[in-house]
Each structure stands twice: as C-alpha cells, then as structure tokens.
Chain A
Amino acid sequence: MKYMLLINAAMDDETGPAGNGCTVEDWMAYDKAVKEAGIFVTGHSLADLVTATTVRVGPGGERTVTTDGPFAETREVLGGYYVIDVPDLDVALDWAARCPGSWGGGSVVVRPVAEF
C-alpha cells in the first residue's frame, strides 16, 4: 500500500524554514535507507516557499495568479515529500519517524494514497 509522507518544516519567521538540527548527511542517510529498503516510489525536495506561485480559476474561467508568502503567520510549510510502498500504517509511521523532517519541531503527515 502506498503512503505519501508530507514533510513539513517549522518556520522561524517569514525568512525561511527554521533549522531543526538535521544535517545534509541525515537526509542523505534517510534517502539511502528508503531506497535500499525497496519501498521508494517517488519523492522530491521542494524549492523555497518564496518561489511558489498559486493559481486559482474562478467560475467564469478567469485566472488569478498569486505569489505565496512571505507568510509571517505560517507555522509549517511543505518542504518535500516521499511516496513509499509498505504493508501497513504502522510501517509507514515508522518511516515517518525515521525521517529527519519529523525531528526538532518539524512534522511529517502520513496520507494513504487512494486506490481506485
């Protein structure tokens, strides 16, 4: 069963994500572990929030484009994701706990991928 791990970084202020004490090595080790376990489906790290753009289309088809942020009030921001294929939620939660994104004030939301 596939689960998406949405990695949320805690925001310090409008300038960017707070450091949660994780090093590049922590992330590389996690990425390697996910791939070696044979559960990796896909995953990406996202560029800074200031590069994000939001599109909305109204009922008349009119397009509104907004630039997100800086959000002083935002506490957590999606910084990346993994999709993993594991037998059940407990295994997915274990992988979420191992993910450096869940440490030091960050969080990882685990969402099952809907199957049709």
Chain B
Amino acid sequence: MDERAAETAAPTGPAGERAAGPATELPAESAVEAVFREERGRLLAALARRFGDLDLAEEVTSEAIEAALVHWPVQGVPPKPGAWLMTTARRKAVDRLRRDTAYAARLAILGAEAERADPVPSPGPDADLPDERLQLFFTCAHPALPAEDRVALTLRCLAGLTTPEVARAFLVPAETMAKRIVRAKKKIREARIPFRVPGPDELPERLPGVLQVVYSVFTEGYAASSGPDLQRRDLAEEAVRLARILRRLLPAEREVAGLLGLMLLVHARRDARIGPGGELVLLDDQDRGRWDRTMIEEGRGLVVLALTGGPPGPYGVQAAIAALHDEAVNVATTDWPQIVALYDVLLTLTPSPVVALNRAAAVAMRDGPEAGLTLLDELAGEPRLRDHHPYPMARADLLSRLGRFAEAATAYREALGLAGTEAERAHLRRKLDAAESAAPGGAPRG
C-alpha cells in the first residue's frame, strides 16, 4: 500500500530476511523481479546518466539484477544492496566498453562533455544509491520525442515494464512497440537528448510534459477499465506508482500533488464503475459505498496541498472537482455551484471545448437541463468535439431529462457510432432503448 515502505523493503526487507536461508525459500523469480522493479529504475537512471547511453544502462542493469538473483540467496544480501548493484553494473559496463573500444571512445567523449555541461551531484553520505530517476523522467518525456514514444519509454524505463508488457498495455504488437522504443532510444542517443533535470527557469515549461505522460498512462488504463481487459487497470496503477515516485522527487511541486490526488480520487471509484455484468456504470449510478475511502482521504489531502501556497494548476483544479464528487453522498447533494466555479478556473487555465463540455454538464446540474443544453449547443461547431462521443452523449442525457426523447434517441445513436469501448457502447444502447420506448410514437420494441 505505502509505496515508500515498498521501496525501502526492496533492498533491506524480504530479501534481507531470506538471506540467511537457503535459496529455495526465495519467492518465485517474478516476485523477486517485482521487488527489484523500483530498484531497477533507480539503477537505470544513475547508469544512463553516468554513461549517457540508455541501451548500455539497460543491458548492465539487467545483468546486475541477474547477478543479485544468483549471489544474494547464497552469499547473503550485502549491507548496501543499491551500491552493490551499482558497482556490479558499472563493472559490467566497463567490461563491455573494453570489448568495444570504438563504442567506448564515443561514450568517453559524450561523458566528458556531459560532465562539463552538468556535473553529477555527489550522493548524500547516507544515500545507498543516489536517486537520479528525475533526470530519466525528463529524458523520457522530452518534447523532442513523439508523444507516444514518451509514454512507452517512461513505462519501459521508469515503471520497469518489459517491452511486451508495454505493447499489451497499448494493444499494439510487441514488434511494433519494440521498434518504437528502439527509435526513441536512438534519438536520445544520436541527437543527444540530455539526462538532466531542467533548471528552475525551465521547469514550469517542462514539468507539464512529464505529468502529461503519467496522466496519459492513467487515462489509457481508465478508458477501458472494464470488460475482459484487466491489464489496463494495472496501467492505471502504474500511473499512480509513477506519480508517487515523482511526488517524492519533487515534493515542492504542487501540480505533482494535484496529479497524484486527481488519479487517486478517480481511481477510488474503480470497483463501482463496473457493474455485475462487466458493464460501465457512470458516476450518477455508482454505488458510492464501493468507493475506496482510504484512497479518497489520501487524495483529499493532496488537493489541499495542490491548492495552497500559490495560483492553482490544472491538475490541482481537476483533483478538487474529483474530490467534490467523492465527498458527496449522491448526485443531488453534490456541490454543483462549486464544481461550476472550478470549471470556470480550469477554462481559464486550459481553455478547451472538452473542458467547456464538462462545465456545461455541471451547469445543467446546478441550473437545470435547459441551461446546460444551451451551453452545449453553443459548442456545436467545435472540431475537437466532432468525434468525441461524450458530446452527443451529454446532449442526449439532457434531452432525455427535458422529455425530448426523439431528439435524445438521435443523439444517443450518434454517440453510439463514436464510442470507443464495448462497455461504453453497451451503456449507450441501454440509454437508447429507454429513450426510444419513451418517445411518443416511437416504434414499439419487441
């Protein structure tokens, strides 16, 4: 549960206790790999930074972990496991460079220049292994990489997913994903995208890119968190894990708190979002007793942090909206005036027709369906809403509430033609049936 605990447990916890026992007491290899996941990211980041080469860093990180899996059960876990892994990996890197002198010569030049540009900070006296993952976050989310590559690289390098796992998460063939990752690493290497944290002056410009990567991992997991594909809920959980790491690395950044808060407050509803038949259950109809209260509490605390001490950012505001939903006993008692006010803020921070659509839906709850519908109709020409099924769906819902069932049915049909997942389509078909049977003169069903 507590990620901090999980992380410190990796070097000194379960493996340490088992060190005295025979190798057979070790958990299955996959479980050990899971323990190493977090350590893997740290090691990879430190090595990528040191050698300026992600491929070499990945290779020797894997070799060092394999070596640990062989040696630790026999010889015991070393007192500083992180330092042991780092030393082992570095030695393997040096061996590799001895074998390939041309490669070494190139990396030596790179290393010397990188050092000159941005000296490596020395780890604190107590640190087992300096945490340089923040550099890697910024490299993986670099704006010079295509957006889809940023997400893939972050999952591969920082979440520790294997390439086939990343491929499965994005429903593309493993070969396609492997090519994408190779292409991204090639660009990092050959265009020399640096492994460094942007300075304070650049951070406001670059941090949103990193947060966007983490959030798109989350929304990708969320877009289809129903039906047979449970892999995708894992993806939402990976995003939460990545945000927790970021939060620890950038404790003063309020938008990081906002992002983590937002994801927790949405993810808290995951069980209520899926009905007994695997169908999608929308917020209005969810059994709020099935919401994860612990997660909501943690999310609410983060919202306070995100909205205190400076102007609000878009993730903080979205988290606050999610918190208002999570705090309400039902739809009727939800604080709609406050939600509309927050959408007003969000619209000034990130003007977009999608935000305007959500705001219109909130206005409909505050002032009635007629008011919401007027706002929605003002958005009719927006190109970004043309293929966005929530738009006709929101219109259809309001038309139903106004008793205009024939128009509602038309809008539901439109939404049905655009909806992405089977769960969403099933939901829309139910709504469409209801609207059709309610429409005066509607064809009798049977």
Residues of A within 8 A of B (CB): 1, 87-91, 93, 110, 112, 114-115
Report the separation of the CA atoms of residues A115 and B118 in the bound assembly, to the nearest whole angstrom. 22
Residues of B within 8 A of A (CB): 106, 110, 113-114, 116-118, 142, 144, 190-194, 196, 198
Taking a contact as CB atoms under 8 Å apart, the answer to whether B144 and A88 are in contact is no
Report the separation of the CA atoms of residues A93 and B194 in the bound assembly, to the nearest whole angstrom. 12
CB A69 to nearest CB in B, in angstroms, measures: 31
CB B385 to nearest CB in A, in angstroms, measures: 28
Inside 8 A of A87's CB, which chain B residues have their CB?
Answer: 113-114, 116-118, 192, 194
Inside 8 A of A115's CB, which chain B residues have their CB?
Answer: 106
Report the separation of the CA atoms of residues A114 and B144 in the bound assembly, to the nearest whole angstrom. 18
Inside 8 A of B192's CB, which chain A residues have their CB?
Answer: 1, 87-89, 112
State whether A112 and B190 are in contact (beta carbons under 8 Å apart), knowing that A87-B117, A88-B117, A89-B144 are contacts in the complex: yes
Report the separation of the CA atoms of residues A93 and B192 in the bound assembly, to the nearest whole angstrom. 11
Contact of B194 among A88, A110, A112, A114 (CB under 8 A): A88
Taking a contact as CB atoms under 8 Å apart, the answer to whether B144 and A93 are in contact is yes
A-B contact count (CB 8 A): 35
Of the A-B pairs whose beta carbons lie under 8 Å apart in the complex, a sample of 16, sorted by A's number, is: A1-B192, A87-B114, A87-B116, A87-B192, A87-B194, A88-B113, A88-B114, A88-B117, A88-B193, A88-B196, A89-B144, A89-B191, A91-B117, A110-B191, A112-B190, A112-B191
Taking a contact as CB atoms under 8 Å apart, the answer to whether B190 and A90 are in contact is no
Report the separation of the CA atoms of residues A114 and B198 in the bound assembly, to the nearest whole angstrom. 26
Closest to A85 in B: B113
Report the separation of the CA atoms of residues A57 and B78 in the bound assembly, to the nearest whole angstrom. 67
Closest to B188 in A: A89
Prevailing SS type, chain B contact patch: loop
Taking a contact as CB atoms under 8 Å apart, the answer to whether A90 and B194 are in contact is yes
CB A2 to nearest CB in B, in angstroms, measures: 10
Report the separation of the CA atoms of residues A1 and B193 in the bound assembly, to the nearest whole angstrom. 11
Contact of B113 among A1, A90, A114 (CB under 8 A): A1
Closest to A88 in B: B194
Inside 8 A of A90's CB, which chain B residues have their CB?
Answer: 193-194, 196, 198
Report the separation of the CA atoms of residues A103 and B313 in the bound assembly, to the nearest whole angstrom. 28
Report the separation of the CA atoms of residues A71 and B198 in the bound assembly, to the nearest whole angstrom. 41
Inside 8 A of B118's CB, which chain A residues have their CB?
Answer: 87
Taking a contact as CB atoms under 8 Å apart, the answer to whether A89 and B116 are in contact is no
Report the separation of the CA atoms of residues A1 and B106 in the bound assembly, to the nearest whole angstrom. 11
Inside 8 A of A110's CB, which chain B residues have their CB?
Answer: 191
Taking a contact as CB atoms under 8 Å apart, the answer to whether B117 and A89 are in contact is no
Known contacts A90-B198, A110-B191; 17 additional CB pairs below 8 A are A1-B110, A1-B192, A87-B113, A87-B114, A87-B192, A88-B192, A88-B194, A88-B196, A89-B142, A89-B144, A89-B192, A90-B193, A90-B194, A91-B117, A93-B144, A112-B191, A115-B106
Closest to B138 in A: A90
Report the separation of the CA atoms of residues A53 and B263 in the bound assembly, to the nearest whole angstrom. 57
Report the separation of the CA atoms of residues A90 and B197 in the bound assembly, to the nearest whole angstrom. 11
Closest to B193 in A: A89
Inside 8 A of B110's CB, which chain A residues have their CB?
Answer: 1
Inside 8 A of A1's CB, which chain B residues have their CB?
Answer: 110, 113, 192
Closest 8 CB pairs of A and B: A87-B117, A88-B194, A88-B192, A112-B191, A89-B193, A87-B113, A89-B191, A1-B192
Inside 8 A of A91's CB, which chain B residues have their CB?
Answer: 117
Closest to A87 in B: B117
Report the separation of the CA atoms of residues A115 and B255 in the bound assembly, to the nearest whole angstrom. 40
Closest to A93 in B: B144
Inside 8 A of A88's CB, which chain B residues have their CB?
Answer: 113-114, 117, 192-194, 196
